[in-house]
A and B are shown apart, each in its own frame.
Chain A
């Protein structure tokens, strides 16, 4: 009974934690996990504008264990190009979302990174992470979408797609930092149009 009541207390604690999370915006970053965009820039290639970025990804041991147990982590790379407006919401010129997934193939002991339906296998997690952390020549919009001389703001974000996680972890994710991975909002003013 005491064990039960302790358990019950824990439940209540969790509940209150969840409640408090609902009330206060959670700004804390993961202790073990980190996702940070180090650099990003746009280049033009023929008619297209390509995004290159360098991301620093660190997994907590917990997360590494989860990957080994067969969880597939889906990351979303979200790029937006905004045309700032003074008295209204900024105009959204282009939005591109790329999905990258990382999983572990237990039978072959390989880490698989799937990007743009292209699969790459790596023998080690570090190699897979290295692949994940480089965004190369991602086509984000066409040159014709923008006008020369106009100021634009580019925004890049990378985050773990929560919706693709098992549902229980989605709920738990509210309270557990292990499953919260999101980069900062990386903003810069691209100067390729000048």
Chain B
């Protein structure tokens, strides 16, 4: 495109030069002028097409919102205006000036002077012609009275007398009769034309004639009426050259007059030629200027376009963009600066990304820690609203707090009444801490009891103020620990009691038996009977006491479980086959999936016995009693449920149901469920008891659910 424009411009310059030369030099290049004009017009059309194409492509660019196109348009407009305005002014002035100056070349005075000169010449010639005519008439009169035979000599005399150069006698048909000439150079005189002869037959005829090669002549033809018998008319021709000096001057005047007339006649054409030339020059110059303006504005806007594109790429987040270097001018510096800026931005961005990744990693680390923390962590913001909590919180509290983020503890209490103790304590602690903001006090640990479905839960709560004014509470489910402490205490008591009580029991029993044995024969029947009854009572009660003490000691002894691969379903079937009770209907809902666990068969058998015994006891006086035992696999846990349709657990017992010596039965030791729970926990399982809801709030049965992790065959386990 650029080269096309330059070539066109060069071509235009050459053509314009030729054209202006052609306009200036009127004689030389006339025939080329039309060609030149045509070529120039063609070039102008070409340029126009070029400009049209450029404008169209620019318009298309603007429509497509190509960066830099509007700037190009503005530059182009400026350049074009800079070229067009002075060009137009010069053009208008030139055209005006030219047309007027051409007009001023021609004026009336010059014309009339030239005409006057011409007329002067004509008049002088006319006078000379009149003179020759007069002489011719005189000669004709002289000749007319002479016989034709003497005409020749007379002609010569007369000619010489009157000082005429050529005298010729002709027949009316133009045949030469006799010639007399003082001009020795020509052999024959110039003959008149037929028309002239015809005219001369009637009367005298005079004419001024330019004769080729000889100059200006005066020709006079006079008819002679010869007075002889034949009466034939003859014609006398006189030829007299116009004096050289007069002829030259008159011819010169005539030439100038004709030149002037020609010029004057063609001045409109001349003016139009000039105007056309100027218009073409103007058009070519304008079009070339506009076409070049296009190239220039493109060139100027190109680096800005590159910059703008770079900026756009930068804005869209591409920091890898490197603009091509652009010369050593200011734009080059700009491009260079842009590149270094981009690089710095890219580096900064990378650093920011790195930092963010680091922070993310730290956050993830903390979150992982928090998530896998067994302690519940719960944070309040500076307004006392719930901000975050970890998974353990949900596990401990048994309630998802997901929906309560942004709630204050009071609002949460309103929704979850069973957590009232817990959140009241948190609210209290956070307010206390807020009161002693600056005090570096020790974390106060509070112990709270909350009632959940699993029974009473003991939570230990610590809290501290956060730097941002919030409050973080860390709490643990201390139920197990407290339970363990309680179990340990019970175990110790049982062990001691067993030990202390067991020791005197045997002597008491032996003494009683011995007393009965020794005194049996020495007493009367009545006394002996009484003694026998008493000693039997002692022995029986001691036996009962011994049994009880043994149970206690067994609970306290708690042997370590011996865990082995075990199919729980088989165990259940085995145990249940022992309970072939006539009154009670036994139902089995065992899963068909694998229910292999790692467990101690003896202990688990005891668990089943205890639970089935409990159920059986609960169904003592019921009609159509049913015990149902079921297993299922849920999320990698084997879930065992034993349900009955008895009276359920008493509400007051629920919180303490797993504590030893907790029983509703007349003859129970209250150790059954406690032992069950201990064994289940030793199998890493959980136990849950619940009353199965019936009508009117009265329990329609009790259910015990035990979850034990399924045994999963792994490389480690199989060894």
Query: What residues of chain A have their CB less than 8 Å away from a CB belonging to chain B?
Result: 4, 7-8, 11-12, 14-15, 18-19, 22, 66, 69-71, 105-110, 112, 114, 117-123, 127, 163, 166-172, 174, 176
Contact = CB atoms under 8 A, between A and B. Distances in A.
A71 to B, nearest CB: 6
A144 to B, nearest CB: 33
B266 A168 contact: yes
Given A11-B272, A70-B258, A107-B250, A170 B193 contact: no
11 contacts: A11-B279, A12-B279, A105-B254, A107-B122, A108-B125, A110-B207, A168-B26, A168-B270, A171-B33, A172-B269, A174-B34
A160 to B, nearest CB: 14
Contacts of A171: 33-34, 37, 269, 272-273, 276
Contacts of A4: 92, 95-96
Contact of B195 (A15, A18, A127): A127
B130 to A, nearest CB: 15
A121 B99 contact: no
Contacts of A106: 118, 254, 257-258
Given A4-B96, A11-B276, A110-B209, 7 more contacts: A107-B250, A108-B210, A119-B211, A122-B195, A167-B26, A169-B266, A171-B33
A18 B275 CA distance: 13
A167 B269 CA distance: 9
A15 B276 contact: yes
A19 B41 contact: yes
B216 A167 contact: no
A108 B30 contact: no
B172 interface: no
Contacts of A70: 257-259, 261-262
Contacts of B195: 122-123, 127
Given A4-B92, A14-B272, A70-B259, A108 B209 contact: yes
A107 B216 contact: yes
A10 B251 CA distance: 39
Contacts of B264: 69
Given A7-B99, A170-B33, A110 B262 contact: no
List the 4 closest A-B pairs by CB distance, nearest first.
A70-B258, A167-B30, A172-B269, A69-B261
Contacts of A117: 212
A66 B269 CA distance: 14
B28 to A, nearest CB: 9
Nearest to B263: A166
B105 interface: no
Contact of B262 (A7, A71, A122): A71
A107 B31 CA distance: 31
B38 interface: yes
Which of B31, B34, B99, B122 has the most chain A CB atoms inside 10 A of its CB? B34
A108 B253 CA distance: 13
Interface string B140-179: 0000000000000000000000000000000000000000
Nearest to A163: B31
Contacts of A121: 193, 209-210
Contacts of A14: 272, 275-276
Interface of B: 26-27, 29-31, 33-34, 37-38, 41, 92, 95-96, 99, 118, 121-122, 125, 193, 195, 207-212, 216, 250-251, 253-254, 257-259, 261-262, 264-266, 268-270, 272-273, 275-276, 279
B625 to A, nearest CB: 120
Contacts of A163: 30-31
Contacts of B99: 7
A131 B262 CA distance: 24
A167 B258 contact: no
Contact of A172 (B207, B208, B210, B266): B266
A107 B266 CA distance: 22
A17 B54 CA distance: 28
B207 to A, nearest CB: 7
Contacts of A167: 26-27, 29-30, 33, 273
Given A8-B95, A169-B266, A169-B269, A119 B279 contact: no
B38 to A, nearest CB: 6
A18 B27 CA distance: 22
Which of A121, A123, A167 has the most chain B CB atoms inside 10 A of its CB? A167
B38 A22 contact: yes
A179 B31 CA distance: 15
A163 B41 CA distance: 22
Contacts of B265: 66, 69, 71
Nearest to B256: A70
Contacts of A168: 26, 266, 269-270, 273
A108 B33 contact: no
Which of B37, B253, B272 has the most chain A CB atoms inside 10 A of its CB? B272
A7 B92 CA distance: 10
A70 B598 CA distance: 139
A19 B44 CA distance: 12
Contacts of A15: 276, 279
Nearest to B121: A107
A119 B99 CA distance: 39
Contacts of B96: 4, 7
Contacts of B258: 69-70, 106
Nearest to A179: B269
A11 B262 contact: no
B86 to A, nearest CB: 17
A170 B30 CA distance: 7
Contact of B210 (A11, A105, A118, A127): A105
A83 B77 CA distance: 63
B394 to A, nearest CB: 92
Nearest to A107: B254
A41 B210 CA distance: 34
A112 B266 contact: no
Contacts of B276: 11, 14-15, 18, 171
Contacts of A166: 26, 30, 262, 266
Contacts of A8: 92, 95
B93 to A, nearest CB: 10
A22 B280 CA distance: 15
B31 A18 contact: no
B50 to A, nearest CB: 18
B118 A107 contact: yes
Given A108-B216, A171-B33, A69 B262 contact: yes
Which of B33, B208, B210, B269 has the most chain A CB atoms inside 10 A of its CB? B269
Contacts of A127: 195
Which of A14, A114, A166, A168 has the most chain B CB atoms inside 10 A of its CB? A168
Nearest to A69: B261
A123 B207 contact: yes
Contact of B207 (A108, A118, A120): A108
A123 B192 CA distance: 12
A176 B279 CA distance: 20
A169 B118 CA distance: 25
